[in-house]
Amino acid sequence: MAAGEPSANCTGLWFSLKYYFVTILRRYQRLPTYGKLLIWLVTLFYLCLGIFVIVVSPSRIAQFLYDQAKKLSETRFGWLVLGGAIILISFPPMTGHSTLTTLCGFAYGMKGFAITAVASVLGSALAFTILRTLFTARLRSWSSKNEKWQALESVMRAKGLSLIILVRVSPFPPWVYSNSLFASIESVSLWQFVVATLFIFPKLLLQVFVGSRIAALSDGDSRGHMDKHTRVLNGLLIGGGITFAICASALVYTLVQRHIKNLPELPQDVDDLAAEAIEVYDESAPLLGPESLTDDV
């Protein structure tokens, strides 16, 4: 390994994180007033939630959640409840896929991966099929007037499955919007979408693992039988898993943008428009709002 390689890797990671932050900031600045207000209200909610956790104590809350998850896992059709919820939140405007995936690990341990994997593939395939079937006419009418979407369709058609996979594993767009995004692109077929969805399994596995480790630390009885080193190790695994997921997501998103913007098969202006279309997926996607059909750009 070259002497300067670790430094170069750190520099690349720093620029990836910086790009990730700037992208989020730019998206926030483009939001209308009510959108910014919603973000601040959500921030206030989480601030109040944090105060509540401090007052009640994390151990009591964790024990309560663990007890409820245990009851769910011991229920005959508890797995069906979680699987059904994952399928349901695959349709816009629902959210919470990562939370439910982590909950599968919290309630069922690593066995929860089977639940979230099957439900995620089934839910995304259903969302893709239903959205495209119900809104085909609307999609064609909208995309014919939108240069960004035409550019995105051209890029997807040019690169095919490899780019579909890369965009699918990217954190932007998030789960439910990713389903609607691909359903909006006519050049993407159902089989390509399903195959690309299989590539998110490592991410799901990591989320389930983090959930299982959180569960191990949430139960007072099991926590009491752990020595200090085991508790520290579990905490490090949880923190390391979350940190790895954030860094990997930032890196993949950066790769997606660079890959789209540097396609030799298409003009540079088409690449730039396609990259921008992914960035504003929730503001302009044709399956997410009636105002989309009236947009000129």
* HEC per residue, the chain: CCCCHHHHHHHHHHHHHHHHHHHHHHHHHHCCHHHHHHHHHHHHHHHHHHHHHHHHCHHHHHHHHHHHHHHHHHCCCHHHHHHHHHHHCCCCCCCCHHHHHHHHHHHHHHHHHHHHHHHHHHHHHHHHHHHHHHCHHHHHHHHCCCHHHHHHHHHHHHHCHHHHHHHHHCCCCCHHHHHHHHHHCCCCCHHHHHHHHHCCHHHHHHHHHHHHHHHHHHCHHHHHCCCHHHHHHHHHHHHHHHHHHHHHHHHHHHHHHHHHHCCCCCCHHHHHHHHHHHHCHHHHCCCCCHHHHHCCC
pLDDT, residue 293, reads 38
Q: Which tokens is 281 given?
A: 């997926």
pLDDT, residue 82, reads 93
pLDDT, residue 43, reads 83
Mean pLDDT of 216-235: 71
57 phi-psi bin (left φ>0, alpha ψ -120 to 50, beta other): left
Mean pLDDT of 61-89: 89
pLDDT at residue 117 above 50? Answer: yes
Return all residues near 258 (Cβ < 8 A) that are at least 6 apart.
none
pLDDT, residue 79, reads 93
Contact 210, 240 (CB under 8 A): no
C-alpha to C-alpha distance for 290 and 259, rounded to whole angstroms: 31
Q: To the nearest whole number, what is the mean pLDDT of the chain?
A: 76
Domain ranges of the chain: 34-73, 75-294
pLDDT at residue 25 above 50? Answer: yes
Q: Give first-to-last CA distance, the chain, whole Å.
A: 49
56 burial level (CB within 10 Å; 0-12, 13-18, 19+): exposed
Mean pLDDT of 278-289: 52
Residue of higher predicted confidence among 80 and 46: 80
pLDDT at residue 282 above 60? Answer: no
pLDDT, residue 20, reads 67
| Cα torsion angle, 66, 71, 76, 82, sign | negative
Q: Which tokens is 277 given?
A: 């279309």
245 burial level (CB within 10 Å; 0-12, 13-18, 19+): middle
Mean pLDDT of 227-232: 69
| pLDDT tens-place string over residues 90-111 | 988 788 898 899 889 999 999 9
Amino acid identity for residue 142 in this structure: W
Residue of higher predicted confidence among 278 and 43: 43
Mean pLDDT of 26-47: 78
| pLDDT tens-place string over residues 141-171 | 666 666 666 677 777 777 778 888 888 888 7
